[in-house]
A and B are shown apart, each in its own frame.
Chain A
Amino acid sequence: MKRWAAAIAMVAACLSAIAQTPDARRSGFDDMSPQTQAMQRDDMQNPAMLTVQDGAALWERAPSASAKACSGCHGAAATSMRGVAARYPAFDKSLKRPIDLSQRINLCRERHQQSTPFAAESPELLAVESYVALQSRGLPIAPPADPKLRAARARGEALYRQRIGQLDLSCAQCHDERAGGRLGGSLIPQGHANGYPLYRLEWQALGSLQRRLRNCMTGVRAEPLAYGSPEIVELELYLAWRDRGMKLEAPAVRP
């Protein structure tokens, strides 16, 4: 009888420990050197803030005489855009699929500003995206609990776990199973997408999550998913779910 009681007590203790397990997720920020962390923390040292300035200027600029600037509908970004980046990708009713923040910006340009969309990864698109993302800095990533996203998110997760490329590796194999290990001289991070768009020292420029994902695919010698493809957005959608609750650090700095 005593042995059963002890076993039950032990199981109960384990279960309660699991329920109270601290978040094992580490932001890439925590894996960086103190110098690179300092670069991210200080808005006067973070090169991404130069691009944010461009974004602030574009926010106020009407694309043509007959169209409003972003500010014409949305007013001050600090109020109207607060929390927006934290809940993208989101479902778009007319396209009937998830879209990410850069696609949302371009849809606004087409639908409400009578303008052509900015090219993928263009300086203008990155500028506006980084300016909008800044307004959610410090907020928890909050992917929408929209049932219409469920299937797309599952496809994104399947892609995350799929082995691809000549090196035949999946995202999960490095970033779930081997995080904390090393690839060459570099520490493998858990790969949380909580700082995008960000200034990557390797790029010597600010870039999007899609650019980073494509880099990884090229790295394992796979054909990278096209910018703006439904598949890459589904992967972003899954990553936002994987990162839910983590603080958004945009615009971050990473090596």
Chain B
Amino acid sequence: MQRRELLQLGVALGTVVTVPAVRATSSEMQDAIRGYANGASVKPGKVKLDVPPLVENGNAVPITVSVDSPMSATEHVTGIAVFNDRNPQRDVVRFTLGPRSGKALVSTRIRLATSQQLVAVARMSDGSYWSHSVDVLVTLAACLE
């Protein structure tokens, strides 16, 4: 729906509708992922992005990313990056790992502005890239302070 139509509909309903000036599209997220992968193909698999499917508050959402990898000197994960499609910015966090990590397993807490898709991408020592996408529903607070 075009912004003007949306605003007209909002006025007709007697509500105030605000539309962000620049709306993120998932093609922007694809661009960010492509940039991280330096143009290499990113295949689904090997990565597990653990995030609750329904989140009661978007200010502190626990996530865990694990990657199936022996983390040996010759075969290991060198990086894990998490992307989103509806926050003001596509990047969430980028980790650097190595054989000293022992396992490819990282956790953190992130902010989600609204319900959206998250993608975790792993960069491997052999130059390959793997990913896992999850859709998250975010409950917005009922009352504002």
| Co-complex (A, B) | yes
B-binding residues in A (CB < 8 A):
32-36, 38-39, 183-187, 201-204, 215-216, 218-220, 255
Q: How far is the CA of A215 from the CA of B142 in the complex (A)?
A: 11
Among B54, B60, B62, B139, find the residue whose CB has the most chain A CB atoms closer than 10 A. B60
Shortest distance between the CB of B136 and any CB in chain A (Å)? 12
CA distance A36 to B60 in the complex (A): 9
Chain B residues positioned under 8 Å from A34 (CB to CB): 52
Asked if B21 CB lies within 8 Å of chain A CBs, one says: no
Query: Do B62 and A201 touch across chains, with their CB atoms under 8 A apart?
Result: no
Partner of B62, one of A39, A183, A204, A220: A39
Closest chain B residue, CB of each to CB of A186: B142
**Residue B143 lies at the interface, judged by CB distance under 8 Å to chain A:** yes
Task: Indicate the size class of the contact surface on chain B.
Answer: 10 to 19
A33 & B55 in contact (Cβ 8 Å cutoff): yes
* Count, A-B residue pairs, CB within 8 A: 52
User: Does B56 belong to the interface (CB within 8 Å)?
Assistant: yes
Identify the closest chain B residue to A167 (Cβ).
B143
Known interface pairs A35-B52, A39-B62; A219-B142 also in contact (CB < 8 Å): yes
Is the Cβ of A33 less than 8 Å from the Cβ of B142?
no
On whether A32 and B56 interact (CB within 8 A), knowing A39-B62, A185-B140, the answer reads yes
CB <8 Å contact, A203 and B145: yes
Shortest Cβ distance from A37 into chain B, in angstroms? 11
- Interfacial chain B residues near A203, Cβ < 8 Å: 145
Q: Is B16 among interface residues, defined by CB-CB distance under 8 A?
A: no
Q: Within the assembled complex, what's the spacing in Å between the Cα atoms of A32 and B139? A: 13
Task: Give the chain B neighbours of A38 by CB distance below 8 A.
Answer: 62
Residues in chain A near residue B139, CB distance under 8 A: 184-186, 255
Q: Which residues of B contact A183 (CB under 8 A)?
A: 142-143
Find residues 91-145 in chain B having any chain A CB closer than 8 Å to their own CB: 139-145
Indicate which residue in B59, B61, B141 contacts A186 across the interface (CB closer than 8 Å): B141
Closest B residue by C-beta to A212: B145
B52 A33 Cβ-Cβ under 8 A: yes
The answer to whether A218 touches B143, judged by C-beta atoms less than 8 angstroms apart, is yes
With CB as the reference atom, state the residue of chain B lying closest to A35.
B62
Q: Which residue of B lies closest to A204 (CB)?
A: B59
22 A-B pairs (CB sep. < 8 Å): A33-B52, A33-B54, A33-B56, A34-B52, A35-B62, A39-B60, A183-B142, A184-B139, A184-B142, A185-B139, A185-B140, A186-B139, A186-B141, A186-B142, A202-B59, A202-B141, A202-B145, A203-B145, A204-B60, A218-B143, A219-B142, A255-B56
Given contacts A35-B52, A39-B62, are A201 and B57 in contact (CB under 8 A)?
yes
How distant is the Cα of A220 from the Cα of B145 in the complex, in angstroms? 11
**Min CB–CB distance B58 → chain A (angstroms):** 8
What's the nearest-Cβ distance from chain B to residue A30, in Å?
Answer: 13
A187 contact set on B, CB distance < 8 A? 56
Taken together as a complex, chains A and B put the C-alpha atoms of A187 and B139 apart, in Å, by: 10
**B51-106, CB < 8 A from A:** 52, 54-57, 59-62
Chain A residue numbers with a CB within 8 Å of B56 are: 32-33, 36, 186-187, 201, 255
